[in-house]
Each structure stands twice: as structure tokens, then as C-alpha cells.
Amino acid sequence: MDDTGPPVPEPAEAGEIRLGHTARGTAANDVVLALTRAARSFLLYDPSNMAIRQFLDMLRLAVEAYCTHHGELSLAVRPFELVAGGEVVYLDRDRERSLAFRLYRDGVRRMSLRADVPWLEVLKLLEVLSIRYIGVRQTEDDMVVLLWKAGFQHIEIEAVEGFVPDEEVDDFADPTATDAQTEAPPTHSGALAVDAPADFDLPAPELTLRRPVQHADLPDIWRDGLVAEDAMHHMPDMCLRLVDHMLRAVEDPSVPLSFSQILPQLREIRDFTLTDGQLPVVLEIIGRLAYLSLPPTHTVERDTLLTSFADARGLGRLIHSVPVGLRSTPPELVTLLQMVPGDHLQTLTEVMEQDHGEAGRRVLRTLVERYVVREGEHVVDCMLAASPAVACELLRALRYTSLPRAVDAVRLASGRNELDFELGALRVLEAAPISNGTTALLGAYVASGHAESRLWALTLLTRRAKPAAFPNLLERIRGLSARTVPTAEAVAYGEALAASDPAHAMEIFREWIRPKGLFAVLAAPILQVIAVSGLVHLPGDEAESLIKIASEKGGTDLQRHCTTCMVKRRRVARGAEQ
Amino acid sequence: MSDLNAAQKSIGEALDAARAGEDKALAQQVRDLGAQAVRLLTGLWRLMRTHEPDNDAFENPTRDFALTLVRLIELLGPLHLVCVEGQVYINDVRIRIDDRTGGAANLEEELRAHHSGGLEFAQPLDDRSIRSLLHVLAGRPAEQHPLRALATRIREAELTTVTVNGLFRLRVSGEQTGPTPTRRDVVQTAERATGLVSEAWDNLAAGRTPNPLPVRRLVNDLVDSVARGEHILPDAAAGAGSAVAGHSLRVCSLSILIGAELGLPPAVLADLGVAAMFHDAGYGAREDGYAPPFERHAGAGACMLLRQRGFHPAKVKRLLVAFEHHDPMSRTPILLARIVHIADDFDTLSRNRSGGAFYSPALALELMSGAAGTLYDPGLLQLLINRIGKYPPGTLLRLRDGRTVVSVSGSRGQASFARPLCRVVITADGTPVLPGSPEQVEVDLALGGGVIEVIEPRGAPPP
């Protein structure tokens, strides 16, 4: 799950008034505010956001607290208010935000939560409210239908289920009126009724065998099996069946159904199966579509549809459905990319730009890795153009698949100065074979604007111990301003100098600690820190005596550093002896 | 925290599903055009108070109102404009009206003066008709029976496609008109259902986008009735509306009965009911001016249902039912299609036609039973048999005492499986019993009385 985004639930907002004069009223106000914020949060945040989880937790606590202390919560719904036990417990006159207004507008007039309402029912109620909060108006369900379908056992909803003639003022139903006058208002508009032929739905089935009927009880296990056939998890298979029917009908010249007419439904099924992560079904659909025999006028539509299964939107849906714990790339996903034409690398890069969580990123990266061998340059181009996060992922894919290509990418991306990318690049250079080229690249990262990158680059240079690095390091050190170099970095500089060219380093350190000449000027304190740090790793008595000199001449800080270095040096020496 | 994570995920998925089922364009069009229609109607109404109908000031707003009506009717079919409790609905879609213009309240107030709560437009109106209508509406309400007077004036103005309705009030869930449903309630429900189904069919035939929501509400009522153990066998609506609409309603009711016997949850029963209601949608299509033949009605039906936009599992099932509701068992149709197949064939074999029914309901059931396992799911068929009994409602029986009765109840349990509640239609001396006459008594065969034979209809055998 993605945990980015505002982690702290919003405080009470303008328009939302804290209400409740009694303990019961205040507790009811807590429940209603928690319900409102939780429902509204789906409008503001991605469903996987941490903030939503906190709103849910607040709702649960508020409902538990109310039900424990006060029992049933019965809310009368007015246009802008919710009233519990005659006390107004919610008031918000902002139509866009008001829970009361939305409930009232959607026909809800009373809502009662029984004291033993289970959390799952509260969640179901929240689900229905959230759907209306995000402003979705489905063609199939309205709020009343959704509430009906929820089948609440512990929540009672009184809702408007449409309108009925007001019998108290029924002008047409006057018993004294004459026949002509009492002509009732038509229940049907009087539009032309469909007039199917008298023999519609014929021929009737040919049934020749007559078998007497009798009552027979059927076992529950049989019923359960049949009921299970309609379970939601069979929906992908039902979609596949529907695709089969539609395609067969399109191919049958006697059926008046064209590909254009089924196209919207195919798109909807595509979106559903992709969002639901139903890869085997997706592949089946693609296979059937690919082999569909169509007139040339429709092949472009078909090909566009096929491509859309693996476009950024389609793949985005698929990747979004990847389970959190998934460690490997589903083979069907690879097959999907093989079956559908298109510039998948570019698409994968676009999908990477969306936020899909760690599992999704991992799957995307492994998919990109498949393109490195054949389209390495293209991957590098994508990396150069991508956002920092995606560039890191692409560089990582290159590193796992082709280290030389990755090093080349690092070289080409020398202008990218985001910390994450630099760290990714350093990981590449760490894994790459030692060469003058990689050493030079590491030298460039010593000049990075990020201390973390500089330190790591220096550490890597120390490990590599290449003399070629020395001149650049020295030049960099000479350009340093004392105030900008933290001690840790100075230590790293010293160690890198000592490792890359020990003899040359000794000369330099000597010059910085014990300058020659009558009018010699002591090196800057930071240079002395670097020198002492480097001397730890240089052999010979001179190194030790230079540290002592630095300690005697330097201030308190340098003295403390020299003591540390001396201890370290002896430990290093003991380690070397052992 | 894991249950919160699960809850978060589940609500996220529900929201995604809801978004997928949305037809934003259609909803927005209805809201925009509806708001425009209400504003124009209110403005024209005010204008009529100060100007003669032939004044040029009407020209532009009348033309705009006419165009708006055309577009709305193209989109929705017959237009039902209802004002209730400060809100305006057009074909059940609540229209957002800016309160500052006083649109909703004004229109409601103006209509209320006539004791009216709404208008229906079956067809678009031309400029002259709109002016006539406004002239009538803006006239002084009659002191006695203003609604009836308004309806008369509209009729006199030859505005035959405009209907004026009485006041409405919002119906709240769980509300009943009385302590128990009366015959009048049943008839009203049947009429409402028939009107609604007929209109849904008309809309399909006119090439409009299917709107399953009103049908779904009706089906929900039927499902609730079954849950309450009420009698919903569709005899009340048997003769109402067009033949195909009546057939749809009966297949819907029978399908819900079978589904309920099986133990399907209410939400699935509702999906089943709506699917059954539209299973023969193909006959609403026109090929060169004629309804498609039997062989092509499934594809034609799917074609009509496919006009609805937005993914919804119920729509997928509805389409599958349209395609598969005549498939034999060997083609493994989906559960809902197998149920609708049984209900469909039972009605086809036993319903009244102009030349009479093919078979009595009892014989239709026995013949279908002979095809259990090949054409029909044997278990599902047995559920229907258990529910409607050996002599299903509508079966004419000759009793040992010489009377002829018609079965009016389904099975009331294993013991009364072959002993339904009946109503006398012909006395022992051969005198027909008129409906509502004192002789039309009920005979409960569970209390006694034997059946000699089932009287088969005189209709020609099926082709």
C-alpha cells in the first residue's frame, strides 16, 4: 500500500460545527463527523492512502464508543441537519460537503444504527456513502438501490423510494364525478407500445415426452453449489463468455450486430478484467480478438482495442491490481506484452510514472529488464527523459541486466543531480569493474551537491585505490572551503588520497602538517584533518610522527581528531599484523 | 490494522466498480437539459401572465423549450416531470435547479395551484402547442376540482400527448398503504409494473439507451414481496399492456420465484428479475420494419441492451441471459439463463394467446419435466414444480362434484402439492360463474374434493 500523502486526518473544518449539548449528543456528533470525514476522504485521497486508514479507525472508535455508552443511534435526516433524540448533532450548510444534504437529496430520511451493529455493516454503509460522495451516478444503481442491496441487518434506513400519487388530494378520484370526468390519469404515457408479432418467441420447444410431476426436496449441498455459480469471482469467466457470444454474433452475417456496437462493452470488459488483475482471462480475450474475422472497415477498431490492452492506462490498471506480496512477474503479463503490438518500453516507463507501490514497481522493473538486451539504447533514452524516481528504476533495471550498459547510462546521465539517481548511479559504479572510466565517473560524484553522494563516492574511490583518481581529488580538496566540509567527509578525503596514491599522498600530508621553509604557512585546519585521516592508513614511523606534530600544533578539535586517528592507526596496524 | 487495510481495499474496489458503472455523459446531459427545460417552462409560464400567446416575446424561449423537449425525449423517451417537496425530477433523475432563480419551488407552486404535481410529455411539441399548453397552465385554476378542470382544458386544446398528473408525495421505504396488501394494492402494483415494462420496451424499440433503474426498483419490490411470502404470481398483470411486455413481466415473476426457492440472495434475485424482464428485448428491434425472427432475437436483444454504457456485473449477466436463454443444457448456459429459460418456456407454452394457450399450465409442466436434463436444468425445474405445484395457477380442473374450477394458488407445501386453492368458474349444472358474483366461491382442495381431469385449452398445438 502506498503510504504517501497527508498522514494526519484533517481537523474539524469550516462549516462543520461541533455539536451536542449532552454526552449522548456529543458522542453522536463524533460518529457523524467521523462518518463524514471518512466518506469524504475518498474524494480527496487515493483509497490506499494512510490518511484514509486513520479516518476508518476514528470511525470505528466513534461508533464503538457511542454504542457502548448510549445504545442505538437513530438519526433523522433533514436537508442540512442530522438530529438524534431531538438534538441537532450535525449541521453543515455547505452543499458540497454536507453529509446531511447528500443523504437528504438522495432520499434518505432516517438512519438507525443498532447498538450491536457490526463493523462490517458500518463499512458497507460507508461504502455506499462514499460512492455518492465521489459524485458517481451509476446507470444501474442509485443510493436507494445500493442501500437495498447492502441487506443491512443492524442498520435501518428509511429512504424515499420514488414518489406516489398523494391520495389525500386526488382530484381524479372524486366519487361524485361522472365517468367522463373520473378518467384516471394514464399510468403509461400513451406512446406507441411495442407490438411484437403474435407468434413471437416461437417455435415453442418440441416437447414430446410427458413425465408426471411430483414434489421432491433438493439437498442443501446442491443448492449451495448452484448459488455459488453466480458468485462475483465467476464474473471474469462470465465476461469471457459474453465476449465469445458477442464475437460469434459479429461474425455471423445473419445477426444484426456490428463490431462497433460491441466495442464499448469490450472496452468495459477490458477495463474490468485489467483492474481485477484477471490476466488469464485478458489473454483469452486478446487471443479471440486477434483471430476474429472482420471486414477491413473494422480491423482498425479491433487493432486499436488490442493495443489498448497494453497501453499506459491498461497496464496501469493491471499493475495497480498486483498483490502487495507478489515477488515475481506473472508470466501472463509477459505473454500479454508479446501478444499486443506497441512500444511497450515507452508505455512501461509511462506506467512507472504513476504511483503503484513497491510490488507494482518491482513488476514493472522486471518487465523493463526484458527489453535491455534488445533495446538497451531505448531504455537509456527513456531513463534520460524520465522523472527522477523512474530514472532510478530504469537504471536499476539496466544494472541488473547489463552492467556495461548501466555504466554507459551513468556516464550519459552526468547532468542528473537528484540524490536518488546519484545513489543509483553509485550503486552501478560500485558493481562495475575498476577502470579509469569508472574512476573518473566516481571522481565526478565527489563534486556532487549531495553530501551522501560525495561520501559514498569517496568511499568507493578508497576501495578502488586507483592512482588516476588522485589528481582530481587533490584539485577538489584545494578548492574546498573549510566551512562546507564536515569532518566525516574530510576523513573520507584523507582515506581516498592515501588509498589511491600512498607515496604522493605522504608528500602532500607532510607539506600540510610540516611545511618547509622559513616563512611556511600552516595549511588550513581542514587540510590538516584530511592529512591526519589519510595518515592513519599510510605505513611507516613518519606517518605516526606527523600525526603527533599535527596534534601538538593544532587546536582542541584537531588534537581530539589526532588521538582518535592514532588509536585507529594502531588498530589498523594490529589488524594487518594478525 | 489488517482489518482496516482490508476495509480500505474493499471500499477502494467498490468505488472503482462504481466509477466503471457510470455513464457520466448521459447523466450530465439529462441534468443539463432537465434544468434547462424547467427554467424555460417556468419562465414561459410567467411570461404568459403578462403577454398574449401570439406575442413575439415567446418566440425564442418557446423554440428553445421545443428543442429541449425533443432532445430529452430522444434521450429518455416519454418525459415525466414531477415536482415533489421542493425538488424536480425528470424520469426519476433529480434535476439541480439554482434556488436563486426559484425554479423548482416556483414550478411546484404554480402546478400546486391546479392540484397538480407534474406533467408528462409523450412526444415533442411544436411552437403552437407549447403556447396553447402555457395558455392553459397560466389560466386561473378552477375553484372546484382544479386538476380535473386543467386536464379537461388540456384535452380541449387538443394537446393529446400531454398528461397532467395529481400531487405527489415521496414514498418512504417500508411504508405500506394498509396493514395488509389489498387487492387494490396488487392491481396498482401490477398496473405500475405493466406501465413501466411497456415504457421500457417502447424506449428500447425507439432506439433509446436502456435505463434499467426504474425496472430494478420494480423488481426490488417483487423480491421484497417474495421475501414477505406474498403472492406475486403474475395473474394480475396477465392481460395488461402489450403481449411482449406481459410475457416479460410473467417471466420475471416466475424467475424470481425459482431464484427465491433456490435461495439466491436478494441482490442476485434483483439481477435475475431485471435480466428476465429484458430477456426478449430483441423483439423490440426492427429489421426492415419487422420484429426479428426467433433465430435472431437473442443477438438483436443483446444489440439493444448493449446501448447502455458503464460496466456493471448485472449488465453482463443480463446480456448473457439475452444470448443464452434458449440454450440447452449441453451448452452450459449460466445459472440465470437456465432459470429464465424455464420461466420463459413455461409461459410460452401456457400463456393465453389470441387462439388460446397451447397447453394448460399443468400439462406444460409435465412436458417440460420430460425434457429435464436435456433442455432444462432438472433441479431448477423441480424448484418451480415444488413452488407452483401439480396444478399451477391458471389450470382449469374438473372436480368430482361436477364443478369446473381454476387453480389460483401455487403449492402450499408437500401435502397440498396436488391440492391447490381454486375458484369456481362453472357450476356443477354447467352455468358459467361471472367474476365477482356470489357463486364464484373458493374451493380449497386441501380440505377435500377430487380432481377428475385437467381441462386443456382449445388453442392450436404449438408450431
Residue B405: its H or E element:
strand B404-407
- Contacts of A392-396 with C-beta under 8 Å, sequence gap 24+, read A392/A420, A392/A421, A392/A424, A393/A352, A393/A361, A393/A364, A393/A365, A393/A368, A394/A349, A394/A352, A394/A368, A395/A421, A395/A424, A395/A425, A395/A428, A396/A365, A396/A424, A396/A427
CB contact under 8 A, B267 and A151: yes
Q: Is residue B336 part of a domain?
A: yes
Helix (H) or strand (E) holding A242: helix A235-251
How many domains is chain B partitioned into structurally?
A: 2
Q: Write out pLDDT tens, residues B193-249.
A: 777 777 777 777 777 777 777 788 788 888 887 777 765 555 544 445 677 878 888
Weakly modelled stretches of chain A, pLDDT under 50: 1-12, 14, 174-193
pLDDT of residue A100: 85
**What is the model's pTM?**
0.72
- Clarify whether residues B319 and B238 are in a common domain: yes
B214/chain A closest Cα distance in angstroms: 9
Q: B439 in a domain, yes or no? A: no
Together in a domain, A482 and A569: yes
Determine the Cα angle at A348 with ends A346 and A354, to 5°.
Answer: 115
pLDDT tens, residue by residue, A536-572: 999 888 998 999 998 888 788 889 999 999 898 888 7
| Cα atoms in the 13 Å half-sphere on the side-chain side of B366 | 15
Q: Quick one: B141 and B242 in the same domain?
A: no
Residues of A in contact with B451 (CB under 8 A): none
Sorted by sequence, the CB contacts under 8 Å of residue A149 that are 6+ apart come out as A141, B266, B267, B270
A–B CB contacts, 8 A cutoff, strictly below:
387
pLDDT band at B424 (very low <50, low <70, confident <90, very high): very high
Residues 6+ apart with CB under 8 A from A567: none
pLDDT of B367 higher than 90 = yes
Is B332 within 8 Å of chain A by CB? no
Q: Who among B122, B284, B382 is closest to A190 (CB)?
A: B122
Domain boundary among A257, A283, A299: A299
CB interface of B with A, residues 35-94, below 8 Å: 77-78, 80, 82, 84, 87, 89, 92, 94
Chain A residue numbers touching B245 (CB-CB < 8 A): 193-194
Which residues 216-235 in chain B show a CB within 8 A of chain A? 216-217, 220
Kindly list the residues from chain A whose CB atom is less than 8 angstroms away from the CB atom of residue B344. Answer: 201
Which strands make up the sheet holding B451-455, listed edge to edge? Answer: B442-444, B421-426, B404-407, B396-399, B451-455
- B438 in a structural domain: no
- Number of structural domains in chain A: 3
CB contact under 8 A, B8 and A157: no
Chain A contacts in chain B segment 149-168 (CB below 8 A): 151-152, 160-161, 163-168
**Mean pLDDT computed over B131-141:** 91
pLDDT score of A209: 93
Around B60, how many Cα atoms within 13 Å sit in the side-chain half-sphere?
2
Closest CB to A164: pick one of B16, B26, B168. Answer: B168
- Phi and psi torsions of B223, nearest 5°: -65, -45
From B199, B315, B367, residue closest to A140, measured CB to CB: B315
Its domain, for residue A488, covers 467-578
| Position with higher pLDDT, A78 vs B382 | B382
**A227 to chain B, closest Cα gap in Å:** 6
The answer to whether B161 contacts A190, with C-beta atoms less than 8 Å apart, is yes
| Distance between A139 CA and the closest CA of chain B, angstroms | 6
Domain co-membership, B95 together with B221: no
Q: Is the dihedral of CA A96, A97, A103, A109 positive or negative?
A: negative
Most A-contacting residue of B31, B173, B203, B387 (CB-CB within 10 A), to test interface: B173
Same domain, B162 and B188: no
What is the grid cell recorded at B401?
A: 362434484
Q: Does B287 touch chain A if contact means CB atoms closer than 8 Å? A: yes
Give the nearest partner residue to B349 out of A42, A204, A241, using CB atoms. Answer: A204
Which residue in A has a C-alpha nearest to residue B372's C-alpha?
A: A211
Of A165, A261, A268, the CB nearest to B166: A165
Question: Taking all residues of chain B, what is their mean pLDDT, rounded to a whole number?
Answer: 83
- Same domain? B206 vs B270: yes
Residue B448 inside a domain? The answer is no
Please indicate, yes or no, whether residues B140 and B56 belong to a single structural domain of this protein: yes
- Which candidate from B146, B262, B385 shows the least CB-CB separation from A227? B262
Does A482 fall in a domain? yes
Q: Are residues B194 and B275 in the same domain?
A: yes
The phi and psi torsions of B53 (rounded to 5 degrees) equal -60, -25
Specify whether B127 is located in the same domain as B272: no
Nearest CA to B251 among B237, B265, B262?
Answer: B237
Q: Counting beta carbons within 10 angstroms of the beta carbon of residue A16, is it exposed (0 to 12), middle (13 to 18) or buried (19 or more)?
A: buried
Is residue A28 located within the same domain as residue A119? yes
Q: Is the peptide bond before A264 cis (omega within 30 degrees of 0)?
A: no
Sign of CA dihedral B373, B377, B379, B384: negative
Q: Is residue A569 part of a domain?
A: yes
- The residue of chain A nearest to residue B261, with distances taken between CA atoms, is A223
Instruction: State the DSSP H helix or E strand holding residue B442, giving kind and residue range, or none if neither.
Output: strand B442-444
Q: For B246-354, list the strands marked E by DSSP.
A: none
Nearest C-alpha neighbor of A129 from the set A154, A153, A111, A116: A111
Which triple of cell numbers denotes residue B259? 431464484
Q: Which of A282, A299, A316 is the last residue of a domain?
A: A299
Domain of B32?
A: 19-166
- Whether residue A421 lies inside any domain: the answer is no
With respect to residue A205, please indicate whether it lies within any of the assigned structural domains. no
Provide the CB-side half-sphere exposure for A560 (13 A, CA).
3
Same domain, B197 and B323: yes
pLDDT at B85: 74
Q: Which of A281, A362, A367, A352 is nearest to A323 (CA)?
A: A362
pLDDT tens-place string over residues B46-87 = 888 888 888 888 889 999 999 999 888 877 777 888 887 777
User: Which of A106, A111, A192, A230 to probe the B interface (max B CBs under 10 A)?
Assistant: A230
Residue A81: strand, helix, or coil? strand
What's the confidence (pLDDT) of residue A327?
A: 78
Q: Pick from A104, A136, A159: which residue ends a domain?
A: A159
Residues of B in contact with A222 (CB under 8 A): 379
A198 and B353 within 8 Å at the Cβ level: the answer is yes
Regarding an ipTM greater than 0.95, the answer is no
Specify the pLDDT at position A287.
92
User: What Å distances lie between residue A279 and A310, A317, A329, A371, A496, CA to CA?
Assistant: 12, 11, 12, 21, 52
pLDDT at A214: 94
Contact A166/B169, CB-based, under 8 Å? yes
Q: Contact A278/B19 with Cβ under 8 angstroms? A: no
Query: Is B319 an interface residue toward A (CB < 8 Å)?
Result: yes
Q: Is B297 on the interface with A (CB under 8 A)?
A: yes
Q: Say what the pLDDT of residue B263 is.
A: 93
| pLDDT, tens only, B257-295 | 999 999 999 889 999 999 999 999 888 887 777 788 888
Residues B230 and B314 in one domain: yes
Cell triple for residue A535?
A: 595518515
Q: Is the distance from CB of B157 to CB of B125 less than 8 angstroms? A: no
Structural domain includes residue B398: no
Write out chain B residues lying below 8 Å of A157, CB-based: 173
In a domain, residue A457? The reply is no
In a domain, residue B206? The reply is yes
The CATH number that applies at residue B289 is 1.10.3210.10
Cβ pair A189:B411 closer than 8 A: no
B427/chain A closest Cα distance in angstroms: 28
Please tell me whether residue A90 adopts helix, strand or coil conformation. strand
Judge: B344–A201 Cβ closer than 8 Å, yes or no: yes
Residue B131 has pLDDT above 60, yes or no: yes
3-state SS, residue A12:
coil
Residue B314 lies in a domain: yes
Asked if B80 lies within 8 A of A189 by C-beta distance, the reply is yes
Q: Which of B118, B139, B166 finishes a domain?
A: B166
Phi, psi of A430 (to 5 degrees): -65, -40
pLDDT of residue A185: 41
Q: Are B135 and B199 found together in one domain?
A: no
Domain boundary at B290, B324, B351, which? B351
Determine whether the interchain pair A207/B370 forms a contact, defined as Cβ–Cβ distance below 8 Å. yes
pLDDT digits (tens, 9 = 90+) for B90-107: 876 777 776 655 566 678
Co-location of B346 and B220 in the same domain: yes
Q: Which residues of A touch B349 (CB under 8 A)?
A: 204-205, 207
Q: Inter-chain contact B213–A162, Cβ cutoff 8 Å? A: no
Contact criterion met (CB < 8 Å) for B22 and A171: no
What SS3 class is residue B22?
A: strand
* A139/B349 touch (CB, cutoff 8 Å), yes or no: no
The pLDDT value recorded for residue B2 is: 66
Which residues in B lie closer than 8 A to residue A230 (C-beta atoms)?
A: 264, 268, 317, 334-336
> Hey, are the CB atoms on A185 and B21 less than 8 Å from each other?
no
In a domain, B24, yes or no: yes
Q: Which residues pair with B459 in a beta bridge?
A: none
d(CA A22, CA A25): 5
Q: Is A16 a domain residue?
A: no
Say if residues B151 and A140 touch (Cβ distance below 8 Å). no
- Is residue A507 included in any domain, yes or no? yes
- Percentage of residues of chain B with pLDDT beyond 70: 87
In this prediction, residue A435 carries a pLDDT of 86
Q: Is residue A247 part of a domain?
A: yes
